[in-house]
Amino acid sequence: MHAWGNTWQRDGISLKTRSIVTVSMLVAMGKMHELKIHVRGALNNGVTPAELQEIFMHASVYCGFRRQSMRFARLRK
């Protein structure tokens, strides 16, 4: 199994929590292509659209509001 599979299948935190952590890190790094993919995965892993919105809003405080609002607008498409 590849590194990502091993990471995602570990015990300790749920897939939903892993998705929240992953989306948060990708937002902070500005990895839009990967973020789009992981947002879909996060929804499949039980993260709600409202929770995703809160992640983006929370990140805007720490990563810059203008930058995050542009990312959020792109993800809505």
Q: What is the mean pLDDT of residues 67-76?
A: 65
pLDDT reported for residue 51? 97
pTM of the predicted model, to two decimals? Answer: 0.77
pLDDT digits (tens, 9 = 90+) for 6-65: 888 888 999 999 999 999 999 888 888 899 899 999 999 999 999 999 998 888 888 776
Q: What is the pLDDT of residue 18?
A: 96
Q: ∠ CA 53-11-26 to the nearest 5 degrees?
A: 30
Structural fold of domain 3-76: AhpD-like (1.20.1290)
